Amino acid sequence: MSVPGASIKFTPQPLFFDLTTEWAASLQKMVANKVPVDEGLDQLAESINTQLEAAGL
Domain of residue 45 covers 14-23+35-57
For residue 42, the one-letter residue type is D
Cβ-count burial 14-36 (b if 16+ within 10 Å, e if not): eeeeebeebeeebeebbeeeebe
Does residue 50 lie within any of the structural domains?
A: yes
pLDDT at 10: 79
Does residue 9 lie within any of the structural domains?
A: no
First-to-last CA distance in the chain? 36
Q: How many domains, the chain?
A: 1
22 secondary structure, DSSP code: H
pLDDT at 12: 78
pLDDT in tens, 2-55: 789 888 887 778 899 999 999 999 999 999 999 999 999 999 999 999 999 999
Does residue 40 lie within any of the structural domains?
A: yes
What CA–CA distance (Å, rounded) separates 23 from 32?
Answer: 14
